[in-house]
Homo-oligomer: A and B are copies of this chain.
Amino acid sequence: MLSQQEARKEETRTKILGAAMWAIRTKGFAATTVDDICRHAGVTKGAFFHHFPSKDSMAEAAAEFFGDFANKLFGSAPFQSEQDPFDRFMGYLEFRREILQGTTAEFTCLLGTMVQEVHLSHPDIREACQQSIWGHVETITPMVAEAKAKYAPTAVWTPESLALHVQAVLQGAFIMAKASQKPETAIESMDHLIRYVEFLFSENQENRS
Seen from chain A, the residues whose Cβ lies within 8 Å of a Cβ on chain B are 26-31, 104-105, 111-113, 115-121, 126, 129-130, 133-134, 157, 161-162, 164-165, 167-176, 178-181, 185-186, 188-189, 191-192, 195-196, 199, 202, 204-207
Q: How far is the CA of A52 from the CA of B171 in the complex (A)?
A: 32
Whether B26 lies near A120 (C-beta < 8 A) is yes
Whether B120 lies near A27 (C-beta < 8 A) is yes
Copy number in the complex reads 2
Query: If the complex has contacts A168-B172, A179-B133, are A116 and B199 also in contact, measured as CB distance less than 8 A?
Result: no
Q: How far is the CA of A207 from the CA of B202 in the complex (A)?
A: 12
Q: Which B residues are in CB contact (< 8 Å) with A164?
A: 176, 185, 188-189
Whether B189 lies near A199 (C-beta < 8 A) is no
**Nearest CB on B from A207, distance (A):** 6
Whether B172 lies near A175 (C-beta < 8 A) is yes
Q: How far is the CA of A204 from the CA of B202 in the complex (A)?
A: 11
Among B104, B120, B130, B179, the residue within 8 A (CB) of A180 is B130
**Nearest CB on B from A161, distance (A):** 5
Q: How far is the CA of A27 from the CA of B120 in the complex (A)?
A: 7
Q: How far is the CA of A103 from the CA of B175 in the complex (A)?
A: 21
Query: If the complex has contacts A168-B173, A185-B164, are A104 and B120 also in contact, measured as CB distance less than 8 A?
Result: yes
Q: How far is the CA of A26 from the CA of B117 in the complex (A)?
A: 8
Chain B residue nearest to A108 (CB atoms) is B116
Subset of 29 A-B contacts with CB under 8 Å: A26-B121, A29-B30, A30-B31, A104-B120, A113-B116, A115-B178, A115-B179, A116-B117, A119-B181, A126-B179, A126-B181, A130-B179, A157-B192, A161-B188, A162-B192, A164-B176, A164-B189, A167-B176, A168-B176, A168-B185, A169-B169, A169-B189, A171-B175, A172-B175, A175-B175, A192-B196, A195-B196, A196-B199, A202-B206
